[in-house]
Amino acid sequence: MVKKLRIAQLAPLWIPIPPRTYGGIELMLSELTEELVKRKYEVTLFASGDSKTTAKFVPIIEKAIWLDHELKNPHAPVMRMLKEVFERFYEFDVLHNHFNFFMFPLSLRLDCPRFLTTVHRPVDKQYAEAMKTYHKIKYVAISEDHKKSMEELGVPVCGVVYNGIDPARYEFNDSPGDYLLYLSRLNREKGVLTAIEVAKAMGQKLIIAGNSAGNAEWSFFMHEIQPHLHDDNISFRGQVNFQEKVALLKNAKALLFPIDRREPFGLVMIEAMACGTPVIGFRKGSVPEIVEHGKTGFVVNTPEGMVKAIGRLSEINRKICRKTVEDKFSLKQMVDKYEEIYKKLA
C-alpha cells in the first residue's frame, strides 16, 4: 500500500477555520482540509484556537486576530506560527500555505518540506517581487485570469485550481423572492456603493450583508454606506452565519457582484449559483470564467449594463446555475486537482 502524504495546512490567523461569517479563503480551506482527512491523508491544520477541524490541530493563538479586540500586536502571533511550523518540519511531506507571504521565510531552511502556496489575493508588483525571491515555493492560481496576472509580473505558476464547494450544503430554490443581494466585504473595491446605485436606479429591493475589517473600512461604512441605509428599499443585515447566508442566497433573484479589482476568484459567485441564483458581475478578473453570460448570469461593463441585466433575469434557468457548480466548481474537482499537485511535488 502506498503511504499517504503528510500535509500541513497553514491557515490565515485573521478569522477562524471555518469562518463564522465572512471568509471565502477560510471556507475553502476548511472544505479542503476535511475532504483530505476523509481521503485518509495525514493532515495537520495550523490555525487560530477557535477553529474546528477533524484534522490534527495546532492552535497558534486562542482567538482569531480580528476577533481579539484586546490584541495590540497582530503580527506577534504570525511569528509564533512560523516557530510552531519550523519545529514540526520532520512531520510533513508538503506544506500548503494559504497565509499569504507571511509564511514564505519557512522555505529558507534547507530541511523545509515541499512548499506550495495557493495565492488567494490579487498580485501587485511588490507582492510579485517577494514571490520571485523565494525559489523553493510553488504557486497555485485560482483562475486562469489570476494565473495570467501573476505571469505578467514574472511569477511562475505551477497550476490553476478553481475553488470548490459542496453543492449539497446549498439548498436549490427555483422560486426566489423579489430582492437583489450584495454579499461581501463592505469596502470600496468590492463595489457595495455601485450595488446600491443600481438597485436605486431600478427601484428594486436590495439586501446588503457583509462585514468591515479595520479602521479604514469602518470609516467607509459610517460615512459612505450608512447614509443610504435609510432608504425603504435598502435592507442591511450585517454579518451573517452560514445558514443565514444560504437563506439569503437561495431567495435572491440575483447576486450583484460589482467588483472594482482584478478578482482572483470570488467564492460567493459559485455559492449563489449553487442555490440557483444568477450572478450579475463586472467584467474584471475571474468573473467571465465563472459567470457564463446569458446562461448563469450576466457579465457587464458598467452600472448601466447591470441595470439592463436585471431586466433580463427571466431569461436565466436557475437549474443551469446549479448544474454549472456541480460540473465545474465542486469540492471534488478542487481536491482532486490538489491531490495531483501534492503527488507531483512529493
State pLDDT tens for residues 137-162.
999 999 999 999 999 999 999 999 99
Statement: residue 1 has pLDDT above 60: no
Of the chain, the end-to-end C-alpha distance in Å amounts to 17
CA 52-58-60 angle, to 5 degrees, is 95
Q: What is the DSSP string of 7-51?
A: EEEE--SSS-SS-SSS-HHHHHHHHHHHHHHHTT-EEEEEE-TT-
Q: What is the mean pLDDT of residues 18-38?
A: 94
Q: What's the rounded Cα separation, in Å, for the pair 89 and 92?
A: 6
Between CA 281 and CA 278 the distance in angstroms is: 10
CA gap 186, 202 in Å, rounded: 21
| pTM over 0.85, yes/no | yes
Task: Tell me the CATH number of domain 6-164+330-345, given options 2.40.40.20, 3.40.50.2000, 3.10.20.520, 3.30.420.40.
Answer: 3.40.50.2000
Q: CB–CB of 51/57 below 8 Å?
A: yes
Encoded amino acid at 255, one letter: L
Q: What is the pLDDT of residues 70-103, one digit of tens each?
A: 999 999 999 999 999 999 999 999 999 999 999 9
- Mean pLDDT (the chain, rounded): 96
DSSP code for 293: B
Instruction: Write the DSSP symbol of residue 249.
Output: H
Q: Which residue has the cell 504570525?
A: 78
Q: What is the model's pLDDT at position 69?
A: 86
Reading the block at residue 324, the C-alpha cell is 454549472
What DSSP letter does each residue of 296-344 carry, written as one string?
A: TEEEESSHHHHHHHHTTGGG--HHHHHHHHHHHSBHHHHHHHHHHHHHH
pLDDT of residue 212: 82
φ/ψ of residue 48, rounded to 5:
-70, 155
* Nearest residue to 81 (alpha-carbon basis) of 115, 47, 113, 108: 47
**Predicted pLDDT at 2:** 58
Q: Name the band, by pLDDT with cuts 50, 70 and 90, for residue 3.
A: confident
- pLDDT tens digits, 175-195: 999 999 999 988 889 999 999
- Residue with cell string 446569458: 294
What is the C-alpha to C-alpha distance for residues 246 and 267, in angstroms, rounded to an integer?
13
**What is the number of residues in the chain?**
346
Confidence of residue 50 (pLDDT cuts 50, 70, 90): very high
Looking at the domain that runs over 167-328, which CATH code has it been given?
3.40.50.2000
Q: How confident is the model at residue 6 (pLDDT cuts 50, 70, 90)?
A: very high
pLDDT tens per residue across span 240-262: 999 999 999 999 999 999 999 99
Phi-psi region at 8: left, alpha or beta (left = phi > 0; alpha = psi -120 to 50): beta
Return the C-alpha cell found at 205: 429591493
Q: Which residues pair with 257 in a beta bridge?
A: 281
Ranges of CATH 3.40.50.2000 domains, the chain: 6-164+330-345, 167-328
Three-state SS at 148: helix
pLDDT in the model for residue 317: 98
CA–centroid distance for 321 within its chain: 19
Inform me whether the pLDDT recorded for 214 exceeds 80.
no
Whether residue 223 contacts residue 234, with contact meaning beta carbons closer than 8 Å, is answered with no
